[in-house]
Structure 1
């Protein structure tokens, strides 16, 4: 890559704020839920920003601040304002910046705001001034309103779900930005269009058609002469805001080419809206448990999808535990199941006080959700403490490329009949073998995880699996959640008699 037009190293800041927030989840995300990274530790997150990286001679990377949290409920306004204020202050204090790599998610909800990412981006743009190029790296489950997109110069998103390309996406956003600055090209055109479709991520996995082909097109569009980037967002289904819907942005130096390609992608997504299916076979909790118990496949994995903390669920519902112990084969111990991880710090404390081998009676679950519905009440469990572990340090390094995930604090395993439930002190995913700690998931007939589609290590572990359509803050059945602020008409909330939408992109 040639030197910059000015003959000096480019100054590019890195920062952002990332969380996925379900507005149907009773949990509230506080400042303490975020992992805040600053100074050299921030640059160390990105291989291309390290001193030995191949861009070091071209770029002086300026660490701003980055905040990332495990998905959950809406962010408390005070926490959001505190992080926004630090980010914008650091931008102003850093001196003139040629560019900013803006590392965000796109599905953050903040109490009292209708479009949190647009509000944050307004503040970032005000701090940088109009001459700084901002390049956003996003999750494909984010939302892209016009107000948000107008403040950006470049924006791209993951092309895989599960997000095995999360770090690749961040690098693409950085390298595209450096390329524009080195060549002195400035701000490209962005053809933006929203598509009136809102689907859960478990129906839009790129492992399956039609998402596989739709996302597979993006690289070929990007390769066209004059195109800088092509991105497709499915939107975030568990927030209730006008911006929640699919979107396409094609970034190019040729505005007519950008419009044509964006409209083609948007039309293809709209035409395929009824073809999207769940990433695996589904059923209600009892039906899935019965099928798993009766199957010879071991281990048989079940997704407790409605309470998935990595999509924004509370992760504290004892509903699935109750359904497991309602099955006679599991209750008797003739079949075994491992069910991590219900967030319940009080129950964990009781187990640690009692010690391994002690019998305990607990009211499991409902730490955040008690009183919010018939499925959210604690489950009364009498069982034996079979394992205790303090996993305060990093575990898997973060599913979906998210460095906010850690060991979840202390965990306690309690066994009743054939069912062993893992209780966690903090909200925690179980996505990799390391996340299970000393417990061996391969030693159980069933493994029931609070997740949607299986992350790669779980997918490889499963002899078979089912997606249980369970209740919770990220219920896969969107129609029973009660959206009332999304912009209608919107598929699948509206279907019959739905007029063909205007999918003409706007050039920003």
Structure 2
């Protein structure tokens, strides 16, 4: 049994001015690609054939040249290694390519054209991906994460591979019951840590355990792309058409019935309100999410609006309060700080060079407090404010991201991070937490962004829309 492995994984905000190029992707092939999946065991009767996998930090749309280069190599390698029995496709599901729509469906269709109708295709996706009819129809097996934050990402990939192997051994292509739900919400309102998402996703395991069902999945969809496929979706896969259709409708209706119950995963406010509450609080460390420019949702990472506001807030620049701001991407400023060295004072114009809409470059005179030339990162300190600047767009999800720069977030008063819901390590560390509603390419105020190509009516864009008919289609 020979199974190929391939994928192009990124989440792309069409509202972000950032453009994703080949330099943004980490590309693996051969043994390095196989090593990515520690659940692939030698001697299991399967020859896993590594093609190419590319993954990037979420950002703006992918350039057409970049997509053609990556997909072209995958297609070429597929043609060279035929015949295959199956292909395991590991992608996100919310990639956008300039000038294209529904690019994952197009990508999978290209694979199908090469391998033919008899080869089984199994995809692992993020629950913030989008599932059009074309994508669901072309794939034989499709599943997604069941937790947000995504603590089950690798479990999901293993499930997609395991289901593929099982169907190849047992024979027979399963049926799929697919239905879209006209709801488009940000991940910060659909975290499975809290209801209603918590109780709705609990139904997925219940459905999957039923006789005649192989897999069940609910996609929230991706809120910051303006494409018709962007909406919630349900797919139940199995061999009993009646069961999978009934259960797909059950999951879809459960999602719709809760559509106006979804709330932010943390208390929210303007940045000024959040900072004021954090300063006055005795909870330490107090975390604030700078949600509008979250690079792990597609923000440019250099929106300087929040930094400008922080520099204008005396309580933040007061040396008596320790605040960490992570982070703002600016290759020129980072290089200048590294060149100047620790202990020197630099006068720089920071950020606002990719996403200059909310605020242009911000003037900052600060001491270089730390540098990491290997990673291309520096810390600039002015009063009690420590600003992390980076040469590349980088998320700050782990305590080690801070400590390797000599910063101690557990001992800080405030930690302000470009993020949405807090990832597990930050969540565990935070004594308290607020979600600041800030501007940027992944602004939480969806109605202000200007969606023109999504299917309408859709909640929350049409709050008084009638109850939709959620009859699944068997594919």
> Does 1:223 find its partner at 2:209?
yes
TM-score by length of 2: 0.98
Q: Are residue 478 (structure 1) and residue 446 (structure 2) matched? A: yes
Deviation at 1:306, TM superposition (A): 0.5
**Displacement, 1:50?**
4.0
Is residue 413 of structure 1 aligned with residue 379 of structure 2? yes
Aligned equivalent of 2:71, options 84, 87, 100: 84
What is the alpha-carbon distance in structure 1 between the residues aligned to residue 307 and residue 467 of structure 2? 44
Equivalent of 1:59 in 46, 60, 69: 46
The answer for the alignment partner of 2:125 in structure 1 is: 138
Question: What SS does structure 1 have at the residue aligned with 2:39?
Answer: helix
* Structure 2 SS opposite 1:194: strand
Are residue 380 (structure 1) and residue 348 (structure 2) matched? no
For structure 1, the residue ranges without an aligned partner over 5 or more in a row are: 1-9, 393-408
Give the alignment's TM-score, normalised by structure 1. 0.92
2:60 matched to which residue of 1?
73
Answering whether residue 36 of structure 2 is matched by residue 36 of structure 1, we say no
**1:331 Cα shift?**
2.1
Q: Which residue is 2:392 aligned to?
A: 426
Partner of 1:442: 410
Which residue number in structure 1 is paired with residue 193 of structure 2?
A: 207
Superposed, 1:149-164 pairs within 5 Å as 149-164=136-151
Give deviations 1:412-435, integer Å, cap 9, x for gaps.
Answer: 111112111010010000000111
CA–CA separation in structure 2 for the residues paired with 1:62 and 1:223: 31
| 1:79 Cα offset (Å) | 0.5
After TM superposition, give the deviation of residue 172 of structure 1 in Å: 0.3
> Shift of residue 353 of structure 1?
2.2
Q: Deviations over 1:292-335 (max 9, x none)?
A: 01100111011001100011001101211122222222222222
**In the alignment, which residue of structure 2 is the partner of 1:488?**
456
1:69 & 1:457 partners in 2: Cα distance?
21
Cα distance in 2 between the residues matched to 1:377 and 1:445: 28
Alpha-carbon separation, structure 2, partners of 1:463 and 1:485: 41
Matching residue of 1:500:
467
Q: Secondary structure at the match of 1:49?
A: coil
Tell me how far apart the structure 1 counterparts of residues 366 and 354 of structure 2 sit (CA, whole Å).
23
Match of 2:322 among 292, 317, 336: 336
Post-superposition offset of 1:367:
2.8
Q: How many residues align?
A: 473
The reply to whether residue 451 of structure 1 matches residue 399 of structure 2 is no
1:49 to 40, 45, 48: 40
Question: Out of 5, 16, 20, which is 1:14 matched to?
Answer: 5
Give 1:353's match in structure 2, choosing from 333, 336, 339: 339
Structure 2 partner of 1:196: 182
Measure, in 2, the Cα distance between the counterparts of 1:57 and 1:148: 29
What SS does structure 2 have at the residue aligned with 1:217? helix
In 2, the alpha carbon distance for the partners of 1:173 and 1:250 equals 13
Cα deviations across residues 191-234 of structure 1 (Å, max 9, x unaligned)? 00000000000000000001001111111101100101000000
Contact 2:296 2:419 in 1 (8 A): yes
Cα shift at 1:96: 1.1
Which of 347, 355, 363 aligns to 2:349? It is: 363
Q: Distance in 1 between matches of 2:15 and 2:83?
A: 41
- 2:82–2:115 CA contact under 8 A, matched in 1: no
Q: Distance in 2 between matches of 1:92 and 1:352?
A: 46
SS, match of residue 461 in structure 2: coil
2:113 is paired with a residue whose SS is helix
Q: Deviations over 1:76-106 (max 9, x none)?
A: 0000011111111111111211111110100
Q: Does 1:287 align with 2:273?
A: yes
Does structure 1 retain, via aligned residues, the 8 Å contact 2:353–2:360?
Answer: no
Q: Per the alignment, in what secondary structure is the counterpart of residue 48 of structure 2?
A: strand
Report the counterpart of residue 311 of structure 2 in structure 1: 325
TM-superposed CA distance for 1:57, in Å, is 2.9
Contact 2:213 2:238 in 1 (8 A): yes
Once structures 1 and 2 are overlaid, which stretch shifts more, 306-315 or 328-337? Answer: 328-337
Partners of 1:32 and 1:129 lie apart in 2 by 32
Deviation at 1:443, TM superposition (A): 2.8
Separation in structure 2 between the aligned mates of residue 413 and residue 219 of structure 1, nearest angstrom: 45
Secondary structure of the residue aligned to 1:126 is: helix
Partners of 1:307 and 1:473 within 8 A in 2 = yes
CA contact (8 A) 1:343 1:367 kept: no
CA contact (8 A) 1:383 1:414 kept: yes
SS of aligned partner of 2:123: strand
* Alpha-carbon distance in structure 1 between the residues aligned to 2:9 and 2:216: 21
Equivalent residue of 2:160, what SS? helix
- Looking at structure 2, the residues matched to 144 and 196 of structure 1 have their Cα atoms a distance apart, in angstroms, of 12
Counterparts of 1:128 and 1:19, CA distance in 2: 24
- The answer to whether residue 452 in structure 2 is matched with residue 466 in structure 1 is no
